[in-house]
Amino acid sequence: MQQLLVPGDPPPFSVHNEQGKAPLLLLCDHASKAVPRALGDLGIPPAELSRHIGWDIGGLEAAIALAEALDAPLVASGYSRLVIDCNRWPGGEGSTPEVSDGTPVPANKGLTKADVDARAEACFWPYHREVDRHLDRMAANGGKVALLVMHSFTPQMNGFERPWHVGVLWNDDARLPEPLLAELRRDPALVVGDNEPYSARASYEYTLNAHARTRKLPHCSLEVRQDLIAAADEARAWGVRLAPAIRAAVAKALS
């Protein structure tokens, strides 16, 4: 298989607060808008790559602030979701979209299985292997651990103004999402979505299914609206704001 990444390319994942003591692993699937040099600019302008189609705006900064506030380790992806989406099954729906929110991505048109496999081996599997490594370490000797994936969402989609400030995404394991929803709703200023604006019950959802459901860990995703966290200082402030609710919910989920 042809090696996609070359010296000078960013690593496929980053780890923050690796020795954090909280019984929680934080993830950020769409932390970066980087593209391997071999793929150029994917055929789209930098302004398009910087939109929500390229990454989760503000997601990494908010996740780092959460990791620090909660003393939890964080693993973040290293490449744009347009190279390969780390929360989609490789080669499946949305994995390497030819069009994203109306924007054609020329470099994703007509990809062969070998093309997708090369992107997965370079940018997808290293991230997910690192997630498993941390979960193995944290669960060693019977340690309890919960998993939370940080995402952000665009304020408007298909002409609809999304009213939620944050959303909790989950499938059928209520141990973490139900107390998290309850904790977040203690803040009367927050509009909280329950499986809004997306649902973790979607067939394309990869990360929670691959890591948390197989290990029977309490888990969910947390979405924050991008206009609230577009600036780094705003993202960090939201991370700090959300930390107490997450801490309390994790304690209940693992009790």
Query: Which 3 state secondary structure label does DSSP give 175?
Result: coil
Strand-pair category, 146-153 with 24-28: parallel
Cβ-contact 77, 56 below 8 angstroms: no
pTM of the model: 0.97
> What's the pLDDT score for residue 1?
57
Q: How many other CB atoms are there within 10 angstroms of residue 184's CB atom?
A: 23
Residue 86 neighbours by CB under 8 Å, 6+ apart = 29, 30, 77, 123, 124, 127, 128, 206, 207
> What's the pLDDT score for residue 136?
97
> What's the pLDDT score for residue 141?
83
Query: Which 3 state secondary structure label does DSSP give 23?
Result: coil
Mean pLDDT, range 119-147, rounded to an integer: 96
Cβ-contact 138, 42 below 8 angstroms: no
Cβ-contact 178, 146 below 8 angstroms: no
Whether 102 has a pLDDT exceeding 60, the answer reads yes
User: What average pLDDT does the chain have?
Assistant: 97
> What's the pLDDT score for residue 157?
83
Q: How does residue 214 score in pLDDT terms, banded at 50, 70 and 90?
A: very high
Residue 213 φ/ψ, nearest 5 degrees:
-65, -40
> What's the pLDDT score for residue 2?
67
Helices and strands (H and E) in the chain: how many = 9, 11
Whether 231 has a pLDDT exceeding 80, the answer reads yes
Whether 254 has a pLDDT exceeding 70, the answer reads yes
DSSP state of 21: -
Q: How does residue 211 score in pLDDT terms, banded at 50, 70 and 90?
A: very high
Domains and CATH numbers, the chain: 13-253 (3.40.630.40)
DSSP state of 10: P
Torsion sign over Cα 159, 162, 167, 170:
negative
Whether 221 has a pLDDT exceeding 80, the answer reads yes
Strand partners, 161: 156
The tokens for 230 are 């577009």
